[in-house]
Structure 1
């Protein structure tokens, strides 16, 4: 991981982030803390190509599976032997987060599953619970996927919390890996889109609430996952104590320089330990014109191709770089 000095986020990005954070936090008021899986299967047709459209549909139908996901009769093929489990970000849900990538993976021949976690039925803003509690939910869900599909392992693709602290906690502490016998791991690959691997300053918001002692107050509104993902949190400290990775797992991090939520963006990168591999990718190193930030990276066709390549590196395809806009994707 680079130790170069990170430039402060431009003022316009800070204003955008503070406005977004304020709006989302206001909408999150009063969320209860139980969880539900997005079990109702959806057809592979009807994918959504922009983040705002997905947000609207996911808000209206927060417990619906994204298109192409959660067909419990799906059986993996020899070409794609591992089901893909998609893990959404904080203060979102599976439908909102994965309505572009899920049908794309389905069309590519994967069995796709997308749980909701860390939030109550009927509310659109999930992923708010204490991360170790959510990791136990994911452990049960992965076991269910393995039993239903007859597979030995899954691949995880996650966004933000869902690509960082949550799956890493599951891998290390909730049975996702077997340190004594890595060949018996339940997870082969972890691919994180803008993952919160080493905590965030939230473009200064997290630094401010920490300095003012307001993290418990903010977490009471936005959920414990807020505090868990800040730089220096207990969850981060425990996870980082014995290294970033687990034996037998291949990790891919896909980050954007324009991230306004997981900051500095280099906090997303991992360092490979024994028996693991890591590939850290900055989107703009591959597609310089890409302007996706934290929210729109899940609706970025360039990032989607990198996910497909990471899932099946033997058949990786060149990324045909397209312009992807902040908040919209492309």
Structure 2
């Protein structure tokens, strides 16, 4: 039994790291992001960009670190930008997105209502990385969000879960590992392909009416595997492979959300399709 648990405890950190997206040193939870122009609740959307943008971090991310690149990029282009923390576990600072996905979706619902009230708008645009691109679909389908969202842009989202290049199948060889994962880090379990949450989410179709969907994936994704499982089927969906926009772009799962300017440009196009410009390797 000791040997079995030793193997279990060896496997779980690997799964957690594989599903995670935050590799930079964590910033302070109360970092004054308003100084950089985002999370400024006095911001009023302009006629050019009439909806606030809510950024939704990925697993093991937070409202600051995940968006040190994209948030200032969008602010500089005239958007009111906000970001939330969700999926916190007791005693685990900075590294969030580990709680149950359904509970995280309810946190997003509360946060969106706060942003709408502060900005005086009726809808938001959502941009999410990894779990942050999938979990908003749970919010829209089961937590009243469908009528409050204009567009969802997913950066390497795990819309249909992941098998981590087969790593999740090893759980069956470590007795108790899956139960341990379910109990301690349910947000990880919920993202494994075939989970109850994902089956319920995708049953009856990937999309809800009235929302514009964009998925930006990278073929070098080592977390969402196979990478095309990020894609959605349905009306008003645009699925994009980063390397089709720039063949020299080698960004993998982490980089596409944190620092890839090609992905940022395509995100801006998705938020304002009427003024979209071609996304190339030279996009800035």
Q: TM-score range by the shorter chain?
A: 0.7 to 0.9
Q: In the alignment, does 2:137 pair up with 1:168?
A: yes
Q: In the alignment, does 2:263 pair up with 1:303?
A: yes
| Alpha carbons 2:58, 2:130 under 8 Å: kept | yes
Distance, in Å, in 2 between the alignment partners of 1:80 and 1:255 is: 25
SS in 2 for 1:189: strand
Identify which of 46, 60, 79 aligns with 1:110: 79
Distance, in Å, in 1 between the alignment partners of 2:32 and 2:66 is: 10
Q: In the alignment, does 2:98 pair up with 1:128?
A: yes
| Alpha carbons 1:65, 1:94 under 8 Å: kept | no
| Alpha carbons 1:76, 1:83 under 8 Å: kept | yes
TM-score by length of 2: 0.88
**CA 1:238 to 1:65, structure 2 compared with 1: closer, same or farther past 3 Å?**
farther
Total equivalences in the alignment: 268
Q: Give the equivalent residue in structure 2 for 1:6.
A: none
| Alpha carbons 1:65, 1:95 under 8 Å: kept | no
Please state how far the C-alpha of 1:62 moved relative to its aligned partner: 3.3
Q: In the alignment, does 2:67 pair up with 1:98?
A: yes
**CA 1:291 to 1:141, structure 2 compared with 1: closer, same or farther past 3 Å?**
same
The one-character-per-residue Cα deviations of 1:194-213 (angstroms, maximum 9, x if unpaired) are 00100100122222125645
Q: In the alignment, does 2:254 pair up with 1:262?
A: no
Please state how far the C-alpha of 1:25 moved relative to its aligned partner: 4.8
Distance, in Å, in 2 between the alignment partners of 1:82 and 1:119 is: 27
Please state how far the C-alpha of 1:64 moved relative to its aligned partner: 2.6
Distance, in Å, in 2 between the alignment partners of 1:250 and 1:193 is: 14
**CA 1:125 to 1:90, structure 2 compared with 1: closer, same or farther past 3 Å?**
same
| Alpha carbons 1:201, 1:231 under 8 Å: kept | yes
Aligned counterparts, 1:1-330, within 5 A: 22=14, 25=17, 55-56=24-25, 59-64=26-31, 66=33, 67-119=36-88, 123-164=93-134, 166-177=135-146, 185-210=147-172, 212=174, 214-221=177-184, 223-272=185-234, 276-298=235-257, 299-321=259-281
**CA 1:319 to 1:124, structure 2 compared with 1: closer, same or farther past 3 Å?**
same
SS in 1 for 2:180: helix
Please state how far the C-alpha of 1:262 moved relative to its aligned partner: 0.7
Distance, in Å, in 1 between the alignment partners of 2:27 and 2:136 is: 27
Structure 2 residue ranges without an equivalent (≥5): 1-9
TM-score by length of 1: 0.76
**CA 1:320 to 1:234, structure 2 compared with 1: closer, same or farther past 3 Å?**
same
**CA 1:271 to 1:23, structure 2 compared with 1: closer, same or farther past 3 Å?**
closer
**CA 1:24 to 1:62, structure 2 compared with 1: closer, same or farther past 3 Å?**
farther
Distance, in Å, in 2 between the alignment partners of 1:23 and 1:174 is: 28
